[in-house]
Amino acid sequence: MATIPAKTSSAGAVAVPAQGAQRPPAIARLNDFVVKFANVNGSGSASANSLFAKAVLRMGVPVAARNIFPSNIQGMPTWYEVRVCEQGWRGRRGGVDLAVPMNPETWNADVAEIEPGGYLFYDSTRPVTSAKLREDVNVLGMPLTAICAEMFTDMRQRQLFKNIMYVGALAALLDIEPEVIEALLASQYSGERKAPLLDANRNAFRRGYTFAKDELPAIGLRMQRRDNVGDRVFIDGNSAAALGAVYGGATVCAWYPITPSTSLAEAFQKWCRKFRTDADSGRNRYAIVQAEDELASIGMVVGAGWNGARAFTATSGPGISLMQEFIGLAYFAEIPAVLFDVQRGSPSTGMPTKTQQADILISAYASHGDTKHVLLFPEDPTECFSMGALAFDLADRLQTPVFVMLDLDIGMQDWLTAPFQWDDARAMDRGKVMTAAELEAGKDFGRYLDVDADGIPYRTLPGTHPRRGAYFTRGTSKDRYARYTEEGPAYVDNMQRLLRKFETAKDYVPGPVIGKSPHPTRAGVLWYGSTGAPMAEALAALGAHGIHLDTLRVRAFPFADAIPEWIAEHDHVFVVEQNRDAQLRALLINECGIDPQKLVSVLHYDGNPLTARFVEREIAEKAAALGLAFREPGTEVREQNVLRHP
């Protein structure tokens, strides 16, 4: 352990120095470090930790925040990681520069994460033996519990305000302007009724700030005001997707509670109260139904979609498993429906509060028999909003279920993200809906008749015409005019038309985002969804060591023709995804006929958000194992460098 000398001899301010080994230099960084809080779930720490992250943003410095929490209600470990990053990297880096361990049960693991030369800030009310510390870490102690016991008599208040107190201490140590945090507190506890809470929080913050200023020395991690946040917003993907659903014209939500998607339905209700309530009458122009189970919820969505409403459900992998029968009906009867799948650790109950990308295959081929479904892969809350709106246009245009594939890392975490583009003049694409005038004029209507050779038939909505345009909606085999039949040719004709429609979907779904390496290369890397958060940083680090890769981000299924064409231009393509079985790789092989040897999996599935260091290390090691070599302008061919990180 390396102990920073205290300015005074205040009891508990600094731990007892360890003997022996020479320590590395203390980390010194400006606006570029990772702080990780370790707490007990239910201790009230979430509000204080979020306050810290927001204060950094108010200083004009971007943050990437991750809340890592258990699936139980109270008593288990929880962590909150704040990456302060002036460069604007949005993913986790890996490693911790300043740890704030407030949970004795996770102390050893929390201390082990600290980078050599990093800092440990802890509650020194009770002594900690040198065996619990590290010689290469700088230790600062503050008797938080003892101070709170002096200031407050209520046990719950002592716990809650201890959290605010350590935020005050960190503000002093890191040079966060105290006025910024006090302004945030004033906003959070505004109004006469909350005045006592504001005073108590302000006093706790000031006590922590003053103690650290007076009793603790300066450290090498510092903040300085910048203007790098701009007009970006700090929001979670579930809230963004729910707002996108409102923007996309959704009026019906049927859902069953399941982590991590519950907050999406709750956010939809919040946005609807603002945007879907008639200003004159006060009547709601939306319907939200908490169904008795997942199967019932998707059944309601299908029924509403058949009737012409824009409807959706929000769920996760277990819910998708239970919805299979109605998803198949919507596919075969060709009824619009939108499903927001906020993916989590799986299979079975799995890890409900951990993130994965493990529902790709079950969603792409949901239900028994031959089915193929449209999938959208948002990268961040901004795309959760835009794709959330687009999904309803696609569902209507293609008359089919559309899945928006979030994951917990996007859905339940706050991201600093580009502002949403809202256009009041936006018109909904309802697709091919035959009107009463067209029916009255005698236009031929066959519910499954492909008149445009794109696989998409015309539909009618209930009540369009008193005598014409009616048809029987069925999950059984039918002919082009919706008449029941089990004749083989009619069945094959219908199934082939569904394939044509899926091919047509390529023209409507978002295409891939392709990037070209500044140096010639025959290797590339491909990913989708929240994996993009650490990719830019990992690619920059790889490039600095001579590993240059072309890039492609998949945004939708069916895959655009540009994707297999891009893969064909490369000898090796790394496919980075967050599941065990390389599901996107399998989907690419199955749908595009790609040589499996060309696609090299980089897999991460422990449930924690992906880090840039993991991606960097895995690609570098696999590149070396493959014997990849690259030629830079003016140089001879050379082997790739292999990077090593702890």
Q: How far apart are CA 279 and CA 84, in angstroms?
A: 43
Is residue 589 a contact partner of residue 599, using CB atoms and an 8 Å limit?
A: yes
Helices (H) and strands (E) in the chain, counts: 20, 25
86 has pLDDT over 80: yes
Does the pLDDT at position 166 exceed 60?
Answer: yes
Query: Residue with structure tokens 């702080």?
Result: 35
pLDDT tens digits for 344-371?
999 999 999 999 999 999 999 999 999 9
Q: Sign of the CA dihedral 168, 174, 178, 183? A: negative
Q: Could you give the C-alpha distances from 143 to 248, 370, 477, 603, in angstroms and in order?
A: 52, 64, 73, 43
**Amino acid 41: pLDDT:** 87
Condensed to tens digits (0 to 9), the pLDDT of residues 225-269 reads: 999 999 999 999 999 999 999 999 999 999 999 999 999 999 999
| Interval 404-456: pLDDT, tens | 999 999 999 999 999 999 998 999 999 999 999 999 999 999 999 999 999 99
pLDDT in tens, 184-217: 999 999 988 889 899 999 999 999 999 999 999 9
The identity of residue 626, as a single letter, is L
Nearest C-alpha neighbor of 2 from the set 174, 144, 120, 98? 120
3-state DSSP assignment of residue 81: strand
Model confidence band, residue 117 (pLDDT cutoffs 50, 70, 90)? very high
Return the pLDDT at 344. Answer: 97
* DSSP letters for 99-168: EEE--GGGHHHHHHTEEEEEEEEEETTS---GGGS-TTSEEEEE-HHHHHHHH--SHHHHHHHHHHHHHH
pLDDT digits (tens, 9 = 90+) for 3-43: 554 454 344 444 444 445 577 999 999 999 999 999 998 88
Beta-carbon contacts of 233 under 8 Å, excluding residues fewer than 6 positions away, are: 381, 416, 417, 418, 419, 420
Query: From CA 158, how far away is CA 607, in angstroms rounded?
Result: 33
12 versus 519: the higher-pLDDT residue is 519
pLDDT given at position 17: 42
526-579: pLDDT as tens digits: 999 999 999 999 999 999 999 999 999 999 999 999 999 999 999 999 999 999
Domains (ranges, CATH) in the chain? 2-222 (3.40.920.10), 234-417 (3.40.50.970), 513-639 (3.40.50.920)
Can you tell me the mean pLDDT for 102-110?
96
- Write down the H helix ranges in 175-236: 178-188, 195-215
Nearest to 355 by CA among 525, 237, 235: 237
pLDDT of residue 74: 67
Res. 638: pLDDT tops 80: no
In the chain, pLDDT over 70 holds for what percent of residues? 94
Counted residue by residue, the chain has a size of 646
Q: At residue 385, what is the residue type?
A: F
Residue 6 has a pLDDT of 47
At residue 628 the predicted structure's pLDDT band, cuts being 50, 70 and 90, is confident
Residue-wise pLDDT tens digits, 151-162: 998 888 888 899
Residue 325 has pLDDT above 70, yes or no: yes
Q: What is the mean pLDDT of residues 159-179?
A: 96
Are the C-beta atoms of residues 617 and 506 closer than 8 Å to each other? Answer: no
Residue 126, class by beta-carbon neighbours within 10 Å (0-12 exposed, 13-18 middle, 19+ buried)? exposed
With cut-offs at 50, 70 and 90, classify the pLDDT of residue 118. Answer: very high
Beta strand pairing call for 572-577 and 556-557: unpaired
Quick check: helix, strand or coil at residue 374?
A: strand
Supply the pLDDT for residue 633. Answer: 40
| pLDDT band at residue 70 using 50, 70 and 90 as cut-offs | confident
How many angstroms separate the CA atoms of 305 and 307, rounded?
5
Residue 338 contacts by C-beta under 8 Å, 6 or more apart in sequence? Answer: 245, 250, 301, 310, 311, 312, 313, 391, 392, 395, 401, 402, 403, 404
For residues 245 and 272, what is the distance between their CA atoms, to the nearest angstrom? 10
Beta bridge partners of 403: 339, 375
